[in-house]
Structure formats: C-alpha cells, structure tokens
Amino acid sequence: MNAAFRSTLKLCLATVLTVLLLAACASPPAPPSGFISYQMIDSSAQQKPTWTHNVPEEAGKQIFIGQSNYYSTEQEARSDALRDAIKKYADFLGVEVSAFDETLRQLEGSESAIQDAQVSRKSRTTLQTNARASRAKARKWYTEKYNAMDGGQVTGIAYSAWVEVTVPNSEIESYQEERRQKKQRIADQKKQVYQEALSEAEATVASVNIAQKEALRATQNGDILSALSGLDFAQQDLTKARYKFLAAGGRIASLASKFDRPATEIKNLTYQLQNSVTLDVGRFNNYCLKDQSGCEKISVWAWSRQGQKSYPLSNLPLVLTGEGDGSRFAARTNSQGKATFQLSRIMDSSYIVKVDEKLIGIDRELVGNLLAANNRVYIQSQTPSLERLIDQGVKDLFQGATPEPLPVDSLILGAVTYENSPEGGEFALLVKDLLGQSLTSINGLRVVTPRKHSASELTNVMQTRGISARASGVGDGAMQAQLNNAGAALQANYRKFGNDTQLTLALLRAESGQLLRKTMLAVPSRLLPSSTQVTSTPPVENTPPPPPQQQQDIRLDVTSHLGDGQTYQEGDTISYFVSSNQDAYLLLIYQDAGGNLIQILPNSYSGNEKFRSGNYIEVPRSSDNYEFIIEGPFGVEHVWAFASDRPLPRLPGQDVGNGLTLLNGSLDSILSTVRSVASQPGISYGEARATITTVARR
C-alpha cells in the first residue's frame, strides 16, 4: 500500500469516527411524556363568549354556566357541561341530583375509543338530579376542539363545551316553597314518629305501673309467686323497650330515660316482696312439748308484711327439716297462709322450716331472698301432768299466727259441765282453776272475773240491748260474757271415754254464742288426783219433764248470779234471778242436794203479787232476812220456777223461821199440783229450772 492511499484511508476512518462520535453525542427522538396537553384547533365561535367565564345577570332568572372536561366526542363534552350546570343549579337549591331526565340522557352517547389517556382515564362522577333540576333550560352553547398532544405527538381529538342554563325565579321560588313544605312534612313526620314513640314509652311505663299494682294485689291475695313472675316479665319488657329506643337514635333515644325510674321501682318492689315474707311458727309452736304423743302436727304460717299489715300467702310450698336426723316433711299453705306438717316420727330436735325451692317452679334468682326466709321449731319431751295437758289445750284453742289478733281480747270462764247436763263437780272446779291459770299466760288476753249484777242492772241491760227475746236467758255463758263486757266465754264439757276423760273446750262469742274455736283433750285417769271425783253426785230424785201435751205460753228465765251450770264451793253465797216475758204470778222452789224442797218465792217478805214482764227479780233480795250459803250435803241442786197469769196453788209446808217454807210431799206430787194449772182453759203457764253443783271446800 502506497503512502498516498494510506493517508487517504486514515482520513476516511477519522471522518467516520468523527461522524459516529457526533452521532453518539446527538439527542435521540423525544419519547412519550405521559402528560397530555391540548391545542385548540377549532371552536364554535370566533371568540370565546364572555358568559363562559363571567356569569351574566338577567331579571327574573338565575343563570348557571356549565363547563365540561375534555372528551373524545363533542356529544360527551356537551353532556358533561350540561351536567355541570345542573349540578350548580342543584347546589344552589341545596339538593342532591338523583336522576337525569330523558333529554339529558339522550345527549349522552358512547365514549370514543381513542387512545387519549386524559380523556379515557378521567374519573366520571355520576351525578344525580331530581325532578326540579330537570327544569333547567340550556340557552347557549360554546364548544372547542383540540388536538390531544403527548410528547409533541398528536394522540387524538378532544372536545370541551360550555353551556348557559337559565332557570326562572318563579321556579326557584316554587321550589323553595315546596322545600319549605317538604321540610315541614319531614318535621311533622319526625314529630309524629316522636309522639308515637313517646306514647309507646308512656304506655310501657303505664303497663309497668299496672304490673306493680297487680303484684301487690296478688301478694295481698296470697299469690306471691305470681306477683314475682309478673314483676320479672315487666322488667324484661322495660329492658327490651330501652334497647329498642336507644337503637332508634336521635330524640327517640332520649326517651329511654323514661324507663329508668320504673325499672328501679320494679327492682325495689321485687326486693321488698321477697324480703316481706315471714315464716311464722305461731304463738306457741316455737316449743312443742310432748310425752308419749303430741307434736304430730306442726303448724306454720307464711305472711307478707306490707307496712302495718300482714297478708297470708297461699299455695306456698314449705319444707320442715329435722336438724338432728335430716327428716324432711312437706306441706303447702292454705288460703289462710297456714301449712300443717304431719310428722310421721318425732324426735327431740330442732326443726327448720323454709320455702321448698324444689317446688317453686320459677327462676331461683327471682326468689333468692324468698328462699332465705326460715324459722325454727323445737320439740322436747316432757313429764305429763293434768296442768300441762290443759295448758296445751288452751294453747291449741288460741293457737294462730303471730301477726293475727287473738280470736278475742277478753273472756270470762263459763261453766264446766258433765256430758249434756248442766251439772258439774269436783273435776269441773279443778279444770276451771287450771284453765284460769293457763289463760293468764296468754299475752293480750284479759280474763274477766264475773261479778254479781243487781236485778235492775239485768233488767236494764237485757231491755236496752234488745236481747230480752233471746231463747237462752242471762244464765247462758255467752250472755254472761256480754253482761260482764267480755268478748267471749270459755266453756268446757267432759265425759268418760273408756279409762280417759274426754274434755272439750269451746270459745263462744259474747251474746250471739257463735262458736269461735273448739278443741278436745283426752285426759288419762292416771293424771287425775285420787281425791277428785269426775262424775257428779246425782240428785235424790230424777225429775220428770213436763208432759208433752202441756202448753207453755210464758217463757221464764231463771239462773244463779254467775250463770247456769256453775259449781260452787262450801261457804259460797249465791242468789238467783228470775224473769218472765209476761206479767205473771211466780213460784220458786229450791231443791237441795239432800232432796229438800223449799219455797223461796213467794215468801213472807215478797207477798203473793203479780210480777211485771221483763223485770228481773233477785232471790233473796238485799232487803230479805236470809241468804243462800253453800253447805252440806253437796251435790246437784235445782231451782224450779213456775209462772201463770192466774195465782198458783198454795203448797203445804212448814215455816223454817226466815220467811221460807219447807214443803211437804215429794217433787212428783208438787209438780203434779202446780202443773195442773196449765190444764185449765184460758190460762197462760210456763216453767223452767236452774241447776248448780255444790262441793266441799278444797
């Protein structure tokens, strides 16, 4: 290779390298930038209208300018501009756009598929319009056409549009009126909803108040379990109502506070009723004393104490459990709140009585405090005696729940008689003494000692109280209680029953004689003092009753000063009272235990006069020169009383020196003589007899 060629080759290589180097240093073609710019290439007017950026004013109208974003078609741009104007109108009205009208929907077309990143990626906000917004009218339009540029390259065509929308002021005013009315309707609806909620709340509270009253009424009627269940349901209703109102929110939620007070009241009443229950073992049941028998029945009362009153609880299951042997006895309370446990085996032990939770049948949490109520009964053996037996009988007679008043607050001890007779005796006197001792131990009971009344007192009391027509006279125990201002009379009757003596105690209401309480005792003969005679000494003569055909028009009342069937001791002084329901002549014959018959009326002091009806006569009177003092022989004695509207026959006898006459003849002959008067036509007649028993001073 010659030098010239090599020189030329080097020059060419240098030139190529220089070109390559320069080419390497030169800028490459501009890549896409990702930023879209728009170059206007056309418009619907030579100049952009002033109204597009300066909203004009026009009388009687409101004008709204809508401007679109960039869209690939003019139709889309116009639709977007119209939506923008309508949205401004809606904002002006203060409403939300809910639906496009048909005209607006027709303006919308399908979007262009051009690769215009700005247009295709634009977030399309779906506007909502309402009927009011659809009244806007598009009056003017202005559009611009652009090249969409990206990195200096045209990527597509875009459009932007402006629209002038006019709305008459009358339309706006009409809307504002409609809006005011709508607000009023909404307010009225809210008020109505609130009022309905308030009424519901008040009705709920009222029903709860009724539930409380019904619970109290149910408890007072004895059904505390139903009362507690009803309160539980009421509390549940309050809880549900409270949750419902709170969930509603707003003003309605504030009504939930109305349930606070009744909820507290329900809770307090439930607690009060549960704690009001008392299990009462009665006045005398806390200790039950037994010998070979006794204490087979234990009575318990269930009460609900409300204020100053106690109400019996019925159908309440109770259980009595022996703490010594674990024995268990069940019983339910009756309508008086009384449960009687039948004990099959009895041990000296402490027994606890409670509500039987196994038979309650309702939620334990609801009756927790109720189940805590309890009491105790103690059973203890004793050495038997007549005193303890009669004391137990008295306690049985006055047994009852502690809150209950005694059946009476005062009484007199009436007669103690044998079988169906008015006769008494030594045993009667002993029983009466023991009854008196036992009665004085009862708190709240006043034992009245009968006093002797004058004839005028008896007459006045019997007439002014309107009880002179009673079949039984003043000698009746109930009448004696009335005369002595006592509430009742306690009378006793006894009879032989095998080797035992059966003793019956009866509590009779004053005046009416209504039977209040009754109990029976079996007195073993081994408990009687050896010197005490149970049966009375019979009278010397058995007295025949008046003949059945004998008419008795006159009713007589004759009794001793302490009443009928009394037993008197040696040395006691007695007197008799007699009265008739018609004016009549009277004859009284005293028959002593020895069989002697003594005429005590008429006597030398009284004369044979006719006595006025309704007036009581005392024999002997305080002015008479004699008195009746008990002395032997002792036994059953009678006073016979006869009355007639004609003078009765004079009976033969001897004056005993004190104005009285010891009659001759037997009782039969005397009765025949006196009763012969009744057989005469047109004569009124009547007879009666008072009986007492006398015993030696103990």
- pLDDT single digits (tens) 507-531: 999 989 999 999 998 888 888 888 7
The pLDDT assigned to 27 comes to 41
CB atoms within 10 A of CB 547: 11
C-alpha to C-alpha distance for 414 and 487, rounded to whole angstroms: 12
Confidence at 213, pLDDT banded by 50, 70, 90: very high
pLDDT beyond 60 at 438: yes
The pLDDT assigned to 545 comes to 52
* Contact yes or no for 339/317 (Cβ under 8 A): no
51-60, 286-295, 645-654: which has the minimum mean pLDDT? 286-295
117-121, 131-135, 394-398: which has the minimum mean pLDDT? 117-121
* Contact yes or no for 376/322 (Cβ under 8 A): no
C-alpha to C-alpha distance for 224 and 367, rounded to whole angstroms: 10
Confidence at 288, pLDDT banded by 50, 70, 90: low
C-alpha to C-alpha distance for 183 and 156, rounded to whole angstroms: 50
At a CB cut-off of 8 Å and minimum separation 6, what does 99 contact? 128, 129, 130
Task: Tell me the chain's radius of gyration from C-alpha atoms.
Answer: 59
C-alpha to C-alpha distance for 4 and 143, rounded to whole angstroms: 72
User: What's the angle, vertex CA 25, arms to CA 24 and CA 28, rounded to 5?
Assistant: 80
Token couple for 544: 């025949």
C-alpha to C-alpha distance for 224 and 216, rounded to whole angstroms: 8
Indicate the length of the chain as a whole number: 698
Confidence at 122, pLDDT banded by 50, 70, 90: very low
Residue with token string 């390559």? 20
The pLDDT assigned to 546 comes to 53
Mean pLDDT along residues 601-608 = 82
Q: Where exactly does CATH 2.60.40.10 map onto the chain? A: 277-382
Mean pLDDT along residues 587-591 = 94
* Contact yes or no for 379/288 (Cβ under 8 A): yes
| Mean predicted lDDT score pLDDT of the chain | 83
Which residues are 37's β-sheet partners?
149
pLDDT beyond 70 at 538: no
How large is the angle between the packed helices 169-220 and 260-275, nearest 10 degrees? Answer: 10
461-497 residue pLDDT tens: 777 655 444 456 788 899 899 889 999 999 999 998 8
* Contact yes or no for 58/90 (Cβ under 8 A): no
The pLDDT assigned to 48 comes to 93
Q: Where exactly does CATH 3.40.50 map onto the chain? A: 394-527
The pLDDT assigned to 151 comes to 83
332-342 residue pLDDT tens: 999 999 999 98
344-368 residue pLDDT tens: 777 778 889 999 988 776 777 777 7
pLDDT beyond 80 at 631: yes
CB atoms within 10 A of CB 196: 11
Query: What class, spelled out in words, does domain 394-527 have in CATH?
Result: alpha beta
Helices (H) then strands (E): counts for the chain? 14, 31
Mean pLDDT along residues 17-41 = 56
Bigger pLDDT: 123 vs 415: 415
Confidence at 223, pLDDT banded by 50, 70, 90: very high
3-state secondary structure (DSSP) of residue 167: strand
The pLDDT assigned to 573 comes to 94
The pLDDT assigned to 36 comes to 87
C-alpha to C-alpha distance for 341 and 356, rounded to whole angstroms: 13
The pLDDT assigned to 44 comes to 93
> Which fold, 277-382?
Immunoglobulin-like (2.60.40)
The pLDDT assigned to 541 comes to 47
* Contact yes or no for 369/267 (Cβ under 8 A): no
Token couple for 25: 């240093």
pLDDT beyond 90 at 297: no
The pLDDT assigned to 654 comes to 93
pLDDT beyond 60 at 638: yes
Give the residue from 664, 465, 637 showing the smallest Cα distance to 558: 637
Confidence at 410, pLDDT banded by 50, 70, 90: very high
The pLDDT assigned to 565 comes to 92
pLDDT beyond 60 at 132: no
Residues 125-130: contacts with CB under 8 Å, at least 24 apart:
127/83, 127/86, 127/87, 127/97, 127/100, 128/96, 128/97, 128/98, 128/99, 129/86, 129/87, 129/90, 129/97, 129/98, 129/99, 129/100, 129/101, 129/104, 130/90, 130/95, 130/96, 130/97, 130/98, 130/99
Helix (H) or strand (E) holding 470: none
The pLDDT assigned to 16 comes to 35
C-alpha to C-alpha distance for 406 and 383, rounded to whole angstroms: 29
362-366, 575-579, 624-628: which has the minimum mean pLDDT? 362-366
Share of the chain above pLDDT 90, in %: 49
Mean pLDDT along residues 237-247 = 94
At a CB cut-off of 8 Å and minimum separation 6, what does 89 contact? 62, 64, 133, 136, 165, 167
φ/ψ (deg, to 5) at 325: -115, 0
Answer CATH for 556-695 from 3.40.1440.60, 3.40.50.720, 2.60.40.2470, 2.60.40.2550: 2.60.40.2550
The pLDDT assigned to 550 comes to 60
304-336 residue pLDDT tens: 988 888 899 999 999 999 888 888 999 999 999
Could you please report the per-residue DSSP string of 272-326? HHHHTEEEE-TTTTTEEEESSS--SEEEEEEEEEETTEEEE--S-EEEEEETTT-
C-alpha to C-alpha distance for 101 and 298, rounded to whole angstroms: 92
CB atoms within 10 A of CB 118: 19
At a CB cut-off of 8 Å and minimum separation 6, what does 139 contact? 164, 165, 166
Q: Where exactly does CATH 2.60.40.2550 map onto the chain? A: 556-695
pLDDT beyond 80 at 607: no
User: What's the angle, vertex CA 244, arms to CA 186 and CA 218, rounded to 5?
Assistant: 125
pLDDT beyond 80 at 406: yes
pLDDT beyond 70 at 136: no
DSSP 71: B
Bigger pLDDT: 268 vs 626: 268
645-685 residue pLDDT tens: 999 999 999 988 788 899 999 999 999 999 888 888 888 99
The pLDDT assigned to 204 comes to 95
169-205 residue pLDDT tens: 888 788 788 888 888 998 899 999 999 999 999 999 9
